[in-house]
Amino acid sequence: MTEKTVIRGGRGGAALADILFRWLSFALAATIVCLFAAFIVILIIEAWPAISAFGLKFPFSSEWNPVSERFGALVPVVGTLLSTTVAMLIALPISFGIAFFLAEISPHWLRGPVGTAIELLAAIPSIVYGMWGLFVIAPLLSGYVEPWIIAHLGYIPIFSGPPMGIGILTAGMVLALMVIPFIAALTRDVFMMTPRNLKEAAYGLGATRFEVVRDVMIPYGKKGIVGAVFLGLGRALGETMAVTFVIGNAHNLSWSLLAPGNSIASMLANEFTEADGVLYTASLIELGLILFVITFIVLGSAQLWLRSGPGGKRR
Amino acid sequence: MLDRELKRRIVNRLVLVISCLTAVFGIFMLGWILADVIVRGVAAINWGFFTELPTPPGMEGGGLGNCIAGTLLMTVTAALIAIPLGLMAGIYLAEFGRDCFFAVTVRLLADIMVSAPSIVVGVFVYLIMVKTTGHFSGYAGAVSLAILMLPVVIRTTEEMLSLVSREMREAALALGSSYPGMMFSVILKAARSGLVTGVMLAVARVAGETAPLLFTALNSPYWMNGMNEPMANLTVTLFNYAMSPYDDWHALAWGAALMITVSVLVVTVVTRMVLGTARKRI
């Protein structure tokens, strides 16, 4: 409803109050746009020493040497992408399974409790995930799981090296745990929007539940599901605390998922307050800028995708 | 023919079983994490945990009283900044700028900011507030939390306001109310419970945030003397203590984890329940 649709009397004071109110709310809505512009501008200005010193080499150099002041983003960028890939590979099948369960399999009385449990899992602060990963998951991995992986799959380069318990693989697993409830809840909402008559028509033709999901619900909700996956991806890329605890914080480029590494966010968390020297700080800020731009592209395209054309289900 | 039928049924069964297992996995993980946090955390909780200052490793006793106070104060300050801003911006989206380009942009940016990396927010606030003033402060911490709350408040306000019927607005205006009068004395009241829960969800979201505080509020081992100085808080303390090599600090960190988890989960559960009824009622 715009104010044009409302007929109102011509009392001057009230009209003035209306206009002021309208402009005030407009100005405050504009703060988020200004904030966003300020984000980009200030990060670029403060990262400029590094941008001008290293130019386009920055994202592709694996050097990170505060003493000789040579910096490159390759190690944390690769670490971020690798841990996120591991997380998504684990999280996607499990989230879809949970969404399928909640939308189609679960008896009615169980939907509420299981749904709430998944939402609680999403509400646990990331630092608690990280701490739990460090003290509970990492010892389990280094004591039992990783030795087994190394013994049986160690000939594959990505599974070589000593069982440290912390590293890219652990970070990916903890990240997966964090994005599962997020993607599962969104996908469940998409599944639930499938019109009843479509599903019942399929059941009436003798389709099994799996076939209804595969041939009716997934095609119908394709758009929402892809959007949900990208939103989860955006979250995982920028996650800091859960990763910082368990990724190992080593400036180390390795083929092995068991080796400790670093992500952009964990590197910022560990080094930003301790960085001395203009170039060191500027390089860290440029890392932050890279992370911001990557997540902006992923989240932004997910949102635009969800809004575009028919089937744009979210407001 | 029969063979195909059998195959379909087996595949179906298999998928159903796997799907049930994933749900069991989700619940199991929730139970596992909560059990660990509760069992290890409860051991650290006693009266001193809430009232005393942290002690150096190896010394008996000690608590996180200053951190609890700092987290509470910064979260409340953040809410005081974000709520008026977010409320008005939400009113703009719901009332004035329905589908104009500007409103669409604000909505899009708000939705992106909800999931934007919080550590970059910390870097940003460090650059505008810590670097310029020359010292870490509780204010900077509160501002970075407010930036994270803002998009949540904007979007829930918009949603809740659009649930209030058009007739109610027209009735208020027909009785001679001005537009802001109608908004504040009728519409916001009608949407009250939904708005409150939206704010609580935003608070729950930032109460457990660590990354934006690392470079803004930093941390402090003392009681606060005001917000214009580095400020003790639960989450950064948890991070420092958990990464330290000392067992008694680990114990305190589990206590902090328990406090944060329980308060965030309680707020989340209560607000979800209220939100459910609010959506139905309006």
Judged by a CB distance cut-off of 8 A, whether residue B125 touches chain A is: no
Asked whether the beta carbons of residue B116 and residue A131 sit closer than 8 angstroms, the reply is: no
Asked whether the beta carbons of residue A101 and residue B22 sit closer than 8 angstroms, the reply is: yes
Position A102 scores a pLDDT of: 94
Q: Is B196 exposed, middle or buried (0-12, 13-18, 19+ CB in 10 A)?
A: middle
What predicted TM-score, i.e. pTM, was given to this entire model?
0.91
Mean pLDDT of chain B: 90
Using DSSP's 3-state secondary structure scheme, residue A261 falls into strand
CATH of the domain at B81: 1.10.3720.10
Please name the member of A135, A273, A288 whose beta carbon is closest to the beta carbon of B120. Answer: A288
Beta-carbon pairs below 8 A across chains A and B: 270
Position B1 scores a pLDDT of: 60
Which ipTM did the prediction report?
0.91
A249 φ/ψ sector (left φ>0, alpha ψ -120 to 50, else beta): left
> Could you tell me which residues come within 8 angstroms of residue B12 by beta carbon, excluding any fewer than 6 positions away?
A208, A209, A210, A211
Banded model confidence at residue A157, pLDDT cuts 50, 70, 90: confident
**CA of residue B163 relative to chain centroid, distance:** 23
* Residue A79 one-letter amino acid: G
Describe the crossing of helices A168-192 and A74-100 by its angle, rounded to 10 degrees: 40
Among B121, B88, B248, B272, which Cα is nearest to B198's? B272
The kind and range of the H/E element at A65 are strand A64-65
In a domain, B269, yes or no: no
Among B122, B79, B102, B255, which Cα is nearest to A28's? B102
Banded model confidence at residue A315, pLDDT cuts 50, 70, 90: very low
Contacts of B36 in chain A (CB under 8 A): 132, 135-136
Q: Is the pLDDT of residue A14 over 80?
A: no
Please name the member of A119, A120, A241 whose beta carbon is closest to the beta carbon of B211. Answer: A241
Domain boundaries, position B117:
66-247
Q: Is the pLDDT of residue A5 over 50?
A: no
Residues within 8 A of A (CB atoms), B 44-83 only: none
Position A296 scores a pLDDT of: 95
Domain count, chain B: 1
More confident: B94 or A315: B94
Task: Concatenate the DSSP letters of all residues of A135-203 into one string.
Answer: IIIHHHIIIIIHHHHHHHHTTSGGG-S---S-SHHHHHHHHHHHHHHHHHHHHHHHHHTS-HHHHHHHH
Is the Cα dihedral A155, A161, A166, A168 positive or negative? negative
Distance from the Cα of A113 to chain B's closest Cα (Å) equals 10
Mean pLDDT of B78-92: 94
Report the percentage of chain A scoring pLDDT > 90.
69
**CA of residue A242 relative to chain centroid, distance:** 12
Mean pLDDT of A176-205: 93
**CA of residue A38 relative to chain centroid, distance:** 23
Q: List beta partners, residue A64.
A: A71
Topology, domain A73-312: MetI-like fold (1.10.3720)
Distance from the Cα of A48 to chain B's closest Cα (Å) equals 13
In a domain, B243, yes or no: yes
In a domain, B198, yes or no: yes
* Residue B35 one-letter amino acid: A
Asked whether the beta carbons of residue B238 and residue A127 sit closer than 8 angstroms, the reply is: yes
Q: Is the pLDDT of residue A10 over 60?
A: no
The kind and range of the H/E element at B119 are helix B118-125
Token pair listed for A239: 């996650």
The conformation of residue B127, written as its DSSP 8-state character, comes to: I
Contact assessment for residue A142 and residue A165, using Cβ atoms and an 8 Å cutoff = yes
More confident: A312 or A300: A300
Distance from the Cα of A23 to chain B's closest Cα (Å) equals 9
Q: Count of CB atoms within 10 A of residue B166's CB?
A: 11
More confident: B95 or B282: B95
pLDDT digits (tens, 9 = 90+) for B163-183: 888 888 889 888 888 888 888
Mean pLDDT of B100-111: 93
Q: Is the pLDDT of residue B236 over 90?
A: yes
Banded model confidence at residue A312, pLDDT cuts 50, 70, 90: very low
Q: Is A12 exposed, middle or buried (0-12, 13-18, 19+ CB in 10 A)?
A: exposed
Among A269, A254, A261, A263, which Cα is nearest to A291's? A263
pLDDT digits (tens, 9 = 90+) for A69-116: 899 999 999 999 999 999 999 999 999 999 999 998 899 999 989 999
Question: CA A178, A179, A185: angle at the middle one, nearest 5?
Answer: 115
Contacts of A25 in chain B (CB under 8 A): 88-89, 91-92, 95-96
Token pair listed for A291: 């992370």
Position A86 scores a pLDDT of: 95
Contact assessment for residue A126 and residue B255, using Cβ atoms and an 8 Å cutoff = no
Give the integer Cα–Cα distance in Å for A206 and A213: 13
Q: Is the pLDDT of residue A260 over 50?
A: yes
Judged by a CB distance cut-off of 8 A, whether residue B244 touches chain A is: no
In a domain, B274, yes or no: no
Mean pLDDT of B61-80: 92
Q: Is the pLDDT of residue B193 over 80?
A: yes
Asked whether the beta carbons of residue A125 and residue B96 sit closer than 8 angstroms, the reply is: no
Mean pLDDT of B207-216: 92
Judged by a CB distance cut-off of 8 A, whether residue B270 touches chain A is: no
Judged by a CB distance cut-off of 8 A, whether residue B91 touches chain A is: yes
**Domain chopping of chain A, boundaries:** 3-59, 73-312
Please name the member of A38, A132, A269 whose beta carbon is closest to the beta carbon of B211. Answer: A269
Contact assessment for residue B141 and residue B232, using Cβ atoms and an 8 Å cutoff = no
Q: Is the pLDDT of residue B239 over 70?
A: yes
Mean pLDDT of B108-136: 93
Contacts of B126 in chain A (CB under 8 A): 272
Is the Cα dihedral B134, B137, B141, B144 positive or negative? negative
Using DSSP's 3-state secondary structure scheme, residue A70 falls into strand
Contact assessment for residue B244 and residue A105, using Cβ atoms and an 8 Å cutoff = no
More confident: B193 or B261: B261
Mean pLDDT of chain A: 89
